[in-house]
């Protein structure tokens, strides 16, 4: 969902020679290391129940885990986000493997975003992990469509992808096309700066509506966790 991304220190954080990052190039990230990512820390949209803390983003042997915690100074909960250091994503094919949290109110997202222009999303919510939300934000409007999944996304790794072209966006799950839209415009990538992001956060107030993700309450047992691995982009 839309966040005002502020990247004041990108130049300081991103040396030009990062090995697996080529300017406007393809990327392949196992996500077992976070060298190519900026870890969000210390902010979060007002309407969310959490603010991003780097303490909630974990490298694991098999990718990245984002957890929900309670160490936010600003909000009831802390949550996590990784922003790829490459600054100029464009048309092409984006994919990732995810296992979303099944805790009601927790959102697990993979998206490209250009502030105030366009966002193309895949979102899984803990309220119902048998559907995926495919969304385009454009012109300050969301255009979400829910897709029934032939599995429970919380049970295992699956591949979620979208192909973004000038005149359409096609979403796929495990390589099968599930949605193709040409009815929503996107801002051309040469007119703005698209970033590639994953996050997990908590809905406490209606976003699209409360029935979208449900209202988050911290569970009595366990740590709410979403998992990500094998992020790819091919122009």
Ligand X SMILES: *[C@@H]1O[C@H](CO)[C@@H](O)[C@H](O)[C@H]1NC(C)=O
Q: Which residues form the interface with ligand X (CB under 6 A)?
A: 167-168, 170, 177, 180, 182
Closest contact distance (angstroms) between CB of 25 and ligand X is: 24
Measured torsion, CA atoms of residues 215, 106, 199, 137, in degrees rounded to the nearest 10: -50
- Please give the Cα distance from 112 to 16 (Å, whole number): 21
Nearer to ligand X (CB atom), residue 151 or residue 168 = 168
- Please give the Cα distance from 165 to 46 (Å, whole number): 32
Nearer to ligand X (CB atom), residue 167 or residue 209 = 167
Nearer to ligand X (CB atom), residue 56 or residue 186 = 186
| Nearest of 116, 76, 92, 97 to residue 201 by alpha carbon | 76
Closest contact distance (angstroms) between CB of 179 and ligand X is: 9
Closest contact distance (angstroms) between CB of 169 and ligand X is: 8
Q: Please give the residue whose beta carbon sits closest to ligand X in the complex.
A: 180
- Please give the Cα distance from 184 to 62 (Å, whole number): 35
| Nearest of 95, 69, 11, 23 to residue 223 by alpha carbon | 69
Closest contact distance (angstroms) between CB of 228 and ligand X is: 25
At 10, is the secondary structure helix, strand, or coil?
helix
Nearer to ligand X (CB atom), residue 176 or residue 209 = 176
- Please give the Cα distance from 229 to 61 (Å, whole number): 10
Nearer to ligand X (CB atom), residue 28 or residue 180 = 180
Closest contact distance (angstroms) between CB of 181 and ligand X is: 8
Structure tokens at 36: 């190519």
């Amino acid at each position: 969902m839309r966040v005002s991304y502020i990247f004041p220190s990108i130049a300081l954080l991103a040396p030009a020679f990062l090995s697996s990052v080529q300017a406007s190039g393809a990327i392949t990230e196992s996500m077992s290391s976070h060298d190519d990512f900026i870890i969000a820390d210390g902010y979060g949209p007002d309407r969310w129940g959490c603010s991003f803390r780097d303490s909630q983003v974990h490298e694991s042997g098999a990718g990245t885990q984002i957890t929900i915690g309670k160490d936010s100074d600003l909000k009831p909960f802390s949550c996590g986000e990784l922003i790829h250091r490459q600054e100029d994503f464009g048309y092409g094919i984006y994919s990732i493997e995810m296992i979303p949290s099944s805790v009601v109110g927790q959102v697990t997202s993979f998206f490209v975003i250009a502030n105030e222009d366009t966002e193309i999303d895949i979102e899984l919510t803990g309220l119902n992990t048998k559907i995926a939300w495919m969304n385009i934000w454009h012109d300050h409007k969301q255009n979400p469509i829910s897709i029934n999944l032939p599995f429970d996304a919380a049970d295992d790794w699956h591949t979620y992808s979208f192909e973004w072209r000038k005149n359409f966006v096609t979403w796929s799950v495990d390589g099968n096309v599930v949605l193709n839209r040409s009815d929503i415009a996107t801002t051309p990538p040469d007119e703005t700066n698209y970033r590639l992001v994953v996050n997990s956060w908590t809905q406490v107030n209606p976003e699209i509506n409360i029935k979208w993700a449900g209202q988050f309450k911290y569970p009595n047992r366990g740590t709410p966790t979403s998992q990500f691995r094998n992020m790819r982009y091919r122009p």
